[in-house]
Amino acid sequence: MSHMQGWAVQQAGQPLVLTAFDLGPLGAEEVEVAVDYCGICHSDLSMINNEWGTASFPFVPGHEVIGRVSALGAQAKGLKIGQRVGVGWTAATCMHCHQCLSGHQNLCAQLLPTIGGGHQGGFADKVRSHWAWAVPLPDGIDLASAGPLLCGGITVLRPFLAYEISPTARVGVVGIGGLGHMALKFAKAWGCEVTAFTSNAAKAGEARAFGAHHVVDSRDPKAIRGMAGTLDLLLATVNVPLDWAALMGTLAPLGRMHVVGAVMEPIPVSVFTLMLGEREVSSSPTGSPIDIATMLDFATRHDIRPQVEMFPMGSVNEALKHLAEGKARYRIVLEA
Contact residues for a second copy (CB under 8 A)?
Answer: 98-99, 104, 107, 109, 162, 229, 245, 253-254, 259-264, 266-272, 274-285
CA nearest to 157, candidates 308, 328, 284: 284
Nearer Cβ to a second copy, position 138 or 277?
277
Q: How far apart are CA 214 and CA 208, in angstroms?
A: 7
Least distance to a second copy from the beta carbon of 245, Å? 8
Least distance to a second copy from the beta carbon of 157, Å? 14
Nearer Cβ to a second copy, position 202 or 271?
271
Least distance to a second copy from the beta carbon of 175, Å? 14
CA nearest to 315, candidates 86, 15, 9: 15
On the 0-12 / 13-18 / 19+ scale of CB atoms within 10 A, 140 is exposed
Least distance to a second copy from the beta carbon of 284, Å? 4
Are 138 and 172 spatial neighbours (Cβ–Cβ below 8 Å)? no
Least distance to a second copy from the beta carbon of 99, Å? 5
Least distance to a second copy from the beta carbon of 308, Å? 25
Nearer Cβ to a second copy, position 162 or 204?
162
Least distance to a second copy from the beta carbon of 150, Å? 18
Backbone angles phi, psi at 92, to 5 degrees: -165, 150
Nearer Cβ to a second copy, position 66 or 227?
227
Nearer Cβ to a second copy, position 108 or 332?
108
Least distance to a second copy from the beta carbon of 133, Å? 17
Nearer Cβ to a second copy, position 278 or 325?
278
On the 0-12 / 13-18 / 19+ scale of CB atoms within 10 A, 174 is buried
Nearer Cβ to a second copy, position 106 or 120?
106
Q: How far apart are CA 39 and CA 178, in angstroms?
A: 10
Count how many residues are written for the chain: 336
Q: How far apart are CA 47 and CA 322, in angstroms?
A: 16
Least distance to a second copy from the beta carbon of 252, Å? 9
On the 0-12 / 13-18 / 19+ scale of CB atoms within 10 A, 147 is buried
- DSSP structure class, residue 46: H
Nearer Cβ to a second copy, position 28 or 245?
245
Q: Answer left, alpha or beta for residue 248, where phi above 0 means left and psi between -120 and 50 means alpha.
A: alpha
> Which residues are CB-neighbours of 128 under 8 A, at least 6 positions away?
23, 26, 27, 30, 31, 32, 33, 91, 119, 120
Chain mean position to CA 79? 23
Nearer Cβ to a second copy, position 264 or 324?
264
Q: How far apart are CA 257 and CA 234, in angstroms?
A: 5
